[in-house]
């Protein structure tokens, strides 16, 4: 069994984005209700969150933008962009979301836990250096990657983003930076419109952005194939010292915002592939942070499957992964072949 840490705090429920907004407190409340089961609580190590400091947020965000978000504190409703709104508590909770991930990273690197999942909100991967976007205020995972570098001396971090939507904010922040290898599977074309296979990085970061733009209807096996056939060879060549996961559950087959067909078993399978990569590269060091996922019941079930795999309570076998991969849809397998052909000049592993 692995020792898995979780960041869980009811203060995260205080961020409100407005009546009937998809990114509602109820989605995280459903996950917390699942975890409040006594059998679940005993399995995981609780990691207390803290607010990220101004300097830590400034690893990736401009001072002007941080000050702008800070100015919303205490105001009942501020529109940051057409999709992202703040409530009176949002600034404080957004700092707590980033800081919760930082404490999870610290705990994994210190060996206090083997891996960890920061179950926080608001999400982060769309936020840019100077802007909010797509329900995201501060880019939690980008702040986490820079924290690992600046605080712990991590030279190579793999960021895996399996959210329905492309993490355009994260990609842009590291597009020319080979300290971070960014890998994304996402429904395409879909919001935010970025993430085509031709987006492969620039300058010193050329080849260190890997996008897998999937057609709607991708099934469990499609995602397993993308990770086994594309991510695993590249990651094993890159040899990351830490793996961070933008864990979005809006690819769940009943999610109201997407058209993908992933089940809780699919999330367990993706988690197992990442654990296998981490075991070979970085002593199993994986830290996930919650991004999207807007079907409350499906979110709870899928997070549970992820955590059970992270803690080795379940352990998907190579045979199970292979069977799942064989059921991948043909249209998206053609996408995978195109991605491989575009990445071949940068990675001598195909």
- Structure confidence by residue, pLDDT tens digits, 121-146: 999 999 999 999 999 999 999 999 99
* Interval 261-277 mean pLDDT: 98
* Interval 319-328 mean pLDDT: 96
- pLDDT tens for 94-120 read 999 999 999 999 999 999 999 999 999
Question: Does residue 125 have an active-site annotation?
Answer: no
For the chain, which residues make up each domain, given as ranges? 4-343
Catalytic residue among 15, 61, 125, 126: 126
Return the CATH fold of 4-343: 3.40.800
Q: What percent of the chain has pLDDT over 70?
A: 100
Predicted pLDDT of residue 41? 64
Q: With a cut of 80, say whether residue 237 has pLDDT above it.
A: yes
* Interval 21-25 mean pLDDT: 96
Predicted pLDDT of residue 236? 98
* Interval 213-240 mean pLDDT: 98
Q: What percent of the chain has pLDDT over 90?
A: 97
Whether the CB-CB separation of 18 and 83 falls below 8 Å is answered with: no
């Amino acid at each position: 069994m692995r020792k898995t840490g979780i960041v869980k705090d009811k203060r995260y429920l205080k961020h409100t984005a407005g009546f009937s907004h998809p990114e509602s407190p109820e989605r995280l409340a459903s996950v917390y209700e699942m975890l409040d089961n006594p059998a679940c609580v005993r399995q995981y190590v609780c990691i207390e969150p803290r607010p990220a400091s101004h300097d830590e947020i400034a690893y990736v965000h401009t001072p002007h933008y941080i000050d702008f978000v800070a100015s919303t504190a205490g105001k009942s409703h501020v529109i940051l962009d057409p999709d992202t709104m703040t409530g009176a508590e949002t600034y404080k909770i957004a700092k707590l979301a980033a800081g919760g991930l930082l404490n999870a990273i610290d705990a994994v690197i210190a060996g206090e836990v083997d891996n960890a999942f920061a179950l926080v909100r608001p999400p982060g991967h769309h936020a840019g250096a100077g802007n909010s976007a797509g329900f995201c205020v501060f880019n939690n995972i980008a702040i986490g990657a820079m924290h690992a570098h600046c605080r712990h001396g991590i030279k190579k971090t793999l960021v895996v983003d399996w959210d329905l939507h492309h993490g355009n904010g994260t990609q842009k922040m590291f597009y020319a930076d080979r300290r971070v290898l960014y890998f994304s599977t996402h429904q395409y074309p879909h919001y935010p419109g970025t993430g085509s296979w031709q987006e492969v990085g620039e300058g010193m970061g050329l080849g260190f952005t890997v996008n897998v733009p999937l057609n709607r209807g991708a099934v469990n096996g499609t995602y397993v194939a993308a990770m086994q056939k594309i991510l695993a060879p590249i990651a094993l060549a890159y040899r990351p010292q830490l793996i961070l996961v933008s864990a979005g559950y809006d690819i769940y087959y009943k999610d109201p915002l997407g058209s993908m067909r992933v089940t809780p078993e699919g999330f367990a399978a993706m988690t197992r592939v990442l654990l296998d990569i981490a075991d070979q590269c970085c002593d199993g060091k994986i830290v996930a942070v919650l991004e999207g996922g807007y079907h409350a019941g499906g979110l709870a079930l899928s997070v549970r499957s992820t955590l059970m795999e992270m803690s080795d309570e379940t352990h998907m076998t190579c045979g199970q992964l292979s069977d799942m991969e064989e059921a991948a849809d043909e249209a998206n397998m053609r996408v995978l072949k195109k991605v491989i052909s575009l990445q071949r000049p940068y990675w001598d592993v195909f």
